[in-house]
């Protein structure tokens, strides 16, 4: 249901919702504002406007509107009564509902992220070089020594990032990509995307600083368009970053809720086992008490049988 307008009562909002979804009034071919055929179909009013006689009468339309309003009012108060008198869910049911809701949100966010995926292909003249161990050591040394870097902000990788890399490669053989705003799990994927879009070679990934060092290659030729056509612009990159941030936050929330659910189920299982053990102990105590009571009754009966014998011996 749409958001309620400021100053609008809940009943007016409920009525406007049903009007917009169930009460459609169109225009006929003659241009007058009379209801078209099958324009008035709703679960609240079982009859169509055209099925009644004198459909063009204002009085009939007023009566239908009043009938619709009355039924909407009854439906509204019925739903409100059911909502207020609903059975409160258990803690386990609440956690399961929250987890299901979060998973639906993650699925929706992934669907929204499909148009923003980086689908860049490698350049036509991309020829990845095979570096020997000596060359790799030399390039790593140069990459660590050079201080030129390209920061990757909250927008992530987009066309401007690739442009800055090519501008750095104009005077330097290597470039450092600073990804300190992202978790290390994403840094590896970002390194693959950067190598694919720019045509460079990933030399090293510094784990503690979250820095990617890329080498332009010996046969580097600066492309005509340093911004690939199939990359995102600033606005789309920001939208993608917001969706990803929301998705990762919901995923962390799902992990937290699943841990709470696991602890709750363990606690419930422990309480059930403790209650069953307590009931078993109480039954054993009751059985032992009954056995002691029966034995005492038997002893009393034996003592009662022995008393006349003592009396008879005393009399003789």
Which has more confidence, 114 or 9?
A: 114
What was the pLDDT predicted at 311? 47
Longest dimension (CA), the chain: 139
pLDDT confidence of 163, banded at 50, 70, 90? very high
3-state secondary structure of 205: strand
Q: For 56-65, 142-151, 175-184, 244-253, which range has the lowest pLDDT when averaged over its residues?
A: 56-65
Which has more confidence, 127 or 278?
A: 278
C-alpha distances in Å from residue 192, one per residue of 47, 108, 186, 187, 253: 63, 26, 10, 9, 28
> Which H helix or E strand runs over 104?
helix 91-113
6 φψ region: left (φ > 0), alpha (ψ -120 to 50), beta (else):
beta
Q: Are 77 and 87 in contact (CB under 8 A)?
A: no
pLDDT digits (tens, 9 = 90+) for 34-93: 333 333 334 444 444 444 455 456 777 788 888 888 888 888 888 888 888 888 889 999
- Other CB atoms closer than 10 Å to residue 90's CB: what's the count? 11
Q: How far apart are the first and last CA of the chain?
A: 105
Q: Give the span between the Cα atoms of 229 and 241, in whole angstroms.
A: 19
What was the pLDDT predicted at 273? 86
Q: Give the span between the Cα atoms of 215 and 148, in whole angstroms.
A: 12
pLDDT digits (tens, 9 = 90+) for 79-128: 888 888 888 889 999 999 999 999 999 999 999 999 887 655 555 555 56
């Amino acid at each position: 249901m749409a958001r309620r307008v400021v100053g609008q009562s809940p009943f007016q909002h409920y009525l406007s919702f049903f009007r917009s979804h169930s009460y459609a009034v169109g225009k006929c071919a003659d241009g007058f504002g009379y209801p078209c055929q099958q324009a008035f179909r709703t679960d609240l009013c079982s009859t169509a406007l055209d099925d009644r006689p004198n459909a063009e009468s204002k009085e009939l339309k007023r009566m239908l509107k009043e009938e619709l309003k009355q039924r909407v009012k009854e439906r509204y108060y019925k739903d409100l009564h059911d909502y207020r008198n609903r059975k409160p869910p258990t803690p386990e049911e609440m956690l399961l509902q929250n987890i299901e809701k979060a998973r639906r949100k993650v699925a929706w966010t992934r669907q929204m992220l499909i148009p923003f995926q980086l689908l860049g292909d490698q350049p036509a003249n991309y020829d990845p070089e095979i570096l020997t161990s000596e060359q790799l050591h030399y390039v790593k040394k140069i990459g660590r020594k050079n201080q030129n870097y390209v920061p990757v902000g909250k927008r992530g990788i987009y066309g401007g990032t690739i442009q800055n890399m090519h501008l750095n490669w104009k005077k330097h053989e290597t470039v450092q990509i600073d990804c300190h705003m992202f978790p290390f799990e994403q840094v590896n994927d970002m390194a693959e995307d950067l190598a694919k879009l720019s045509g460079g070679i990933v030399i090293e990934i510094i784990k503690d600083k979250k820095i990617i060092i890329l080498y332009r290659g010996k046969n580097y030729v600066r492309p005509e368009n340093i911004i690939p056509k199939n990359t995102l612009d600033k606005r789309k990159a920001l939208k993608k970053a917001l969706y990803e941030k929301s998705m990762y936050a919901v995923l962390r929330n799902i992990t937290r809720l699943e841990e709470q659910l696991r602890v709750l189920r363990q606690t419930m299982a422990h309480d059930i086992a403790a209650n069953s053990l307590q009931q078993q102990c109480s039954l054993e105590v009751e059985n032992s008490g009954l056995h002691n009571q029966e034995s005492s009754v038997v002893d009393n009966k034996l003592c009662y049988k022995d008393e006349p014998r003592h009396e008879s011996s005393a009399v003789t």
